[in-house]
Structure 1
Amino acid sequence: MKSKTIKIGTVHQCNCYMGSKTLHPLVSVIDLSDSNLTQQNIKLGFYAVLLRECRCGDFLYGRQYYDYSDGTLLFLTPGETIAIDNCLLPQKGRMLAFHPDLIGCTSLGQNIQDYSFFSYHKNEALHISAREKQKVSECFDNIREELQHAIDCHSKTLITKYIELLLDYCTRFNERQFITRCEANKKLLTKFEKILNEYFEADRVKRNGLPSAEYCADLLQLSPSYFTDLLKYETGKNIKEHIQFKRIEIARQRLQTTHKTVNQIADELGYSSVQYFTRLFTKIAGCSPNEYRHPN
């Protein structure tokens, strides 16, 4: 039987649903151990940062043997549906909920898209150490303490700054997780290179255009955001830059191993004109395609 989806559009509705007191209509810190959650699907109308302290079902959240296991952070966005199951039923943990209206016209509102982990899949959650969990808890406490204060003209500024600080710490911890997953990341990058090689060898560029982050991430069974962050962390390049260098690498190979003309190679690799291909090749390789093929 398909589970019913309950829509919770506001922070106040969330507080009522979870049995928590509303101290501010747009933001709340909820203790999950005191909540009245039941198994069902919930569609949120606000952002949420969920700190789980239970190890039940960690495989659902992508924890591997090389990850920390003292806590797990999940990041949810407005419009997202979360399945409340045995792993999220009253456990030791907390949830920060904040409505988009809270961060409007603030630096957090302008930069919220930079916190890409909000777009990760559930099995790409952030697994944190005891020290990191303590820092997250301190941030939750700071927000909770400010919520205890009567709302005034400073409330929005202080609360959003505390949330921004929390998310900045999460960015640091997320980058640390890429470090502890170094070997696994290398294997993913090897698969990514294979995907690109097969794509170009099959001459799919002329039919389908250049491979996108979404296309590559799907084949790697990753979210586009996680894949993009992984690639940027490991190589220092985004998907567009990486593919650009890959095309030049393939062009070099074809210039050396085939008799195809520069025009043919440029066309096969999806360049709009041979002039653009030549300029880009010269910029990266330090010489023109013809000079590369026939060095002095």
Structure 2
Amino acid sequence: MHETVKINTVSELHEFLGYPYKPTHPLITLIDFSEINLNGIKSGTRKVFGFYSVVLKKITGAGVIYGRKVYDFSEAALLCMAPEQLSVVTAIEKEAFTEGWGLYFHPDLIRSSALNKSINSYTFFSYNTDEALHLSEKEKSILHLLTQSLKAESSDKLDNYSTDIIVSNIEVILNHCKRFYGRQFITRQIHNKGIASRFEALLTDYFESGKLRLQGLPSVKYCADQLHLSPNYLGDLLKQESGKSAKDHIHFFLIEKAKNLLLNSSSSITEIAYDLGFGQRQSFSKLFKQKTGMSPSEYKNPE
């Protein structure tokens, strides 16, 4: 069993990565990967950072790290991770850490800011590593300018405005990442339509196989696992493709099946609710009315 290393402070992070400079700020750092030394880290080491991470790596010759079959650009990939996520150091990853940069900021930095309330809206922090953002040269240049501005601000002597300005710069960087992911979803429409079709087929099979009665309504996580995606990536992809969330798609399938059963079977509403994976009729009736504007009884027996 490989050891698990927990890194909680910026100083510990610099030491772990073999970065030769002392931190200029206790809660944020921007590390140039061309200046780190990973020779002291064994491949297979499990690491958990207590930081938000926005990491730009070169992928030329090392794209296997991300496992993608389709690339928009081959120059660089951006991977974002939230605190307490486990990752493993691989030999290929160590090779890729020769160019690029890593922005790391502690949750305490944004704790009292508006960004703390909206940080969960940046769903890419929970994407899988093979769902990394692949950047064009223009996008790389934009992020380079933004990160250098952030580095300059966090390296200066702190004053009463420093934290607000630093956090604002972070938010601008995250908003650009959100924009670039939106571009990636668009440029991969053919690839994404294939995923969307597989998702629809998965739901059709689930609903027609009798699993509803045995296992209940499929969760977004269940569907994402079956498609080898992270739940957030699947949800964002479907939102881009159809305007509906993954949960909305699941509910649509459920309501359509419920309508057919209500109109074309002799089963009671309680029996239908049970067949659709609901332990109680009330839960089924509440969702049905929420989605259709009428109760199952009103739909089954219109006046």
TM bucket normalised to smaller: 0.7 to 0.9
2:140 pairs with one of 124, 133, 141: 133
Deviating 4+ runs (over 4 angstroms): 252-264, 273-278
Residue of structure 1 in register with 2:9 after alignment? 10
1:80 pairs with one of 68, 85, 88: 85
What's the CA shift for 1:59? 2.5
Q: TM-score, structure 2 length as denominator?
A: 0.85
1:69 pairs with one of 52, 69, 74: 74
What's the CA shift for 1:65? 3.3
Instruction: Note if 1:243 corresponds to 2:243.
Output: no
Residue of structure 2 in register with 1:222 after alignment? 229
Q: Determine helix, strand or coil for the equivalent of 2:54.
A: strand
Q: TM-score, structure 1 length as denominator?
A: 0.87
The one-letter code of the counterpart of 1:87 is E
Residue of structure 2 in register with 1:208 after alignment? 215
Partners of 1:282 and 1:76 lie apart in 2 by 38
Q: Is residue 281–residue 288 contact of structure 1 (8 Å, CA) maintained in 2? A: no
Partners of 2:161 and 2:285 lie apart in 1 by 57
Partners of 1:223 and 1:278 lie apart in 2 by 28
What 5-or-longer segments of structure 2 have no aligned partner? Answer: none
What's the CA shift for 1:35? 0.6
1:56 pairs with one of 57, 61, 68: 61
Partners of 1:281 and 1:149 lie apart in 2 by 54
Q: Determine helix, strand or coil for the equivalent of 2:93.
A: coil
Q: Is residue 51–residue 83 contact of structure 2 (8 Å, CA) maintained in 1? A: yes
Residue of structure 2 in register with 1:102 after alignment? 109
Residue of structure 2 in register with 1:29 after alignment? 30
Q: Is residue 52–residue 105 contact of structure 2 (8 Å, CA) maintained in 1? A: yes
The one-letter code of the counterpart of 2:93 is C
Partners of 2:133 and 2:5 lie apart in 1 by 26
Partners of 1:196 and 1:65 lie apart in 2 by 25
Deviation by residue 1:162-187 (Cα, 9 ceiling, x = unmatched) = 11110000000111111112112111
* Cα separation, partners in 2 of 1:216 and 1:282, compared to 1, 3 Å: closer
* Cα separation, partners in 2 of 1:27 and 1:276, compared to 1, 3 Å: closer
Deviation by residue 1:41-64 (Cα, 9 ceiling, x = unmatched) = 332121111111342321321444
The one-letter code of the counterpart of 2:19 is M
What's the CA shift for 1:221? 0.6
Residue of structure 1 in register with 2:175 after alignment? 168
What's the CA shift for 1:247? 1.6
What 5-or-longer segments of structure 1 have no aligned partner? Answer: none
Q: How many corresponding residue pairs?
A: 291
Instruction: Note if 1:283 corresponds to 2:293.
Output: yes
Partners of 2:109 and 2:130 lie apart in 1 by 28
Q: Is residue 65–residue 92 contact of structure 2 (8 Å, CA) maintained in 1? A: no
Q: Is residue 54–residue 91 contact of structure 1 (8 Å, CA) maintained in 2? A: no
Calculate percent identity across the aligned residue pairs: 37
The one-letter code of the counterpart of 2:225 is D
Q: Is residue 146–residue 155 contact of structure 1 (8 Å, CA) maintained in 2? A: yes
Q: Determine helix, strand or coil for the equivalent of 1:171.
A: helix
Aligned-CA RMSD value:
2.7
